[in-house]
A and B are shown apart, each in its own frame.
Chain A
């Protein structure tokens, strides 16, 4: 629901990096987002299209790399994806877990001309 703010941030970061390399146009953006980062791709694309109009990123394509959530049990070492009903280790039911992946939310790279 906060995709407008997210789109603004992406635009600011992308334009700053592109201008730093004297690029004329941004054609592609590669966004990495974990499944727990709670951003909706379609909504982001919608805001992006409005915001980027009139900038060097107009028409650029957003590519999303979705990273699934992977948890690690610190008691038995089991790696697992949480189910919709439970977070605990499916093998030993421990609550001592570490989030290995799924919380990423960054701009990995851009392509420019």
Chain B
């Protein structure tokens, strides 16, 4: 005799619980943690490199990099002066709270002020999996096109800040900044935004100051 049991439970609630544990570990160690998400090639690693190089004398920085394969990105962060850990997801399209939890023991959190988690390059899946970081940051870039907020609403809705990278390319690429920003505003009203170029260094200062103010 079939019997209906009401459940009404968020499907990723287990991940959310683990994310809360990760958050507690960061808090206990006095570490400020950020999760950087973007499509492949938007400039996540470049932003991290510039950030580490600029802040390494003021903050002790750790970096956890998620990639499907290779450790190129963690190597770049390490070269810039961060304590870097690589997670190879082996095909998974995102980091989740479990992967972060298993990577954390490789960092001495008590010796760090800021932990930067670089998520897998993807505009869909990482948005669904909380990691337990304090802030989520989306790196968008001019060559990707101005329609991305409209195509990937889930990603734009869940983040605390949007970094618009490669603004030095604005004169060369058809990109309606006002259209792009309207999409962001509709999905995530009042979200913190930075316009910068990791290549030229233009606009990096407000981003660095924002991070310093939080960490």
**A interacts with B:** yes
Interface residues of A (CB under 8 A from B): 1-2, 5-6, 9-10, 12-14, 17-18, 21, 23, 27-28, 31, 36-38, 82, 84-88, 95-97, 99, 103, 105-113
- B187 and A87 contacting across the interface, CB-CB below 8 Å: yes
Out of A18, A84, A107, name the residue touching B9 (CB < 8 Å). Answer: A107
Which B residues from 106 to 126 make CB contacts under 8 A with A? 122, 124-125
* Contact A110 to B7, CB < 8 A, known contacts A1-B93, A13-B13: yes
Chain B: minimal CB distance from A31 (Å): 7
Task: List 24 A-B pairs, Cβ < 8 Å.
Answer: A1-B122, A2-B93, A2-B129, A6-B12, A9-B11, A9-B12, A17-B9, A23-B3, A28-B2, A36-B157, A38-B128, A82-B153, A84-B150, A87-B149, A87-B150, A87-B153, A87-B186, A105-B128, A108-B7, A109-B6, A109-B8, A111-B5, A112-B2, A112-B5
Q: Which residues of B contact A112 (CB under 8 A)?
A: 2-3, 5
How distant is the Cα of A44 from the Cα of B32 in the complex, in angstroms? 35
Out of A97, A108, A111, name the residue touching B8 (CB < 8 Å). Answer: A108
How distant is the Cα of A87 from the Cα of B3 in the complex, in angstroms? 42
- B12 and A87 contacting across the interface, CB-CB below 8 Å: no
- The residue in chain A whose Cβ has the minimal distance to the Cβ of B10 is A106
Out of A27, A96, A105, A111, name the residue touching B11 (CB < 8 Å). Answer: A105
How distant is the Cα of A107 from the Cα of B10 in the complex, in angstroms? 6
How distant is the Cα of A112 from the Cα of B1 in the complex, in angstroms? 8
- In the complex, B154 has a CB within 8 A of chain A: yes
- A17 and B7 contacting across the interface, CB-CB below 8 Å: yes
Which B residues from 1 to 45 make CB contacts under 8 A with A? 1-15
- In the complex, B105 has a CB within 8 A of chain A: no
Q: Which residues of A contact B125 (CB under 8 A)?
A: 1-2, 38
- B9 and A37 contacting across the interface, CB-CB below 8 Å: no
Q: Mark B182-193, 1 if CB is under 8 A from A, else 0.
A: 110111010000
Chain B: minimal CB distance from A22 (Å): 10
Chain B: minimal CB distance from A59 (Å): 13
- The residue in chain B whose Cβ has the minimal distance to the Cβ of A107 is B7
Q: Which residues of B contact A99 (CB under 8 A)?
A: 157
Chain B: minimal CB distance from A82 (Å): 8
- A38 and B124 contacting across the interface, CB-CB below 8 Å: yes
- In the complex, B92 has a CB within 8 A of chain A: yes
- A9 and B5 contacting across the interface, CB-CB below 8 Å: no
- A111 and B93 contacting across the interface, CB-CB below 8 Å: no
Q: Which residues of B contact A27 (CB under 8 A)?
A: 2
- In the complex, B96 has a CB within 8 A of chain A: yes
* Contact A111 to B3, CB < 8 A, known contacts A95-B182, A95-B185, A97-B186: yes
How distant is the Cα of A23 from the Cα of B4 in the complex, in angstroms? 11
Q: Which residues of A contact B13 (CB under 8 A)?
A: 9, 13
* Contact A14 to B3, CB < 8 A, known contacts A9-B12, A87-B183, A87-B187: no
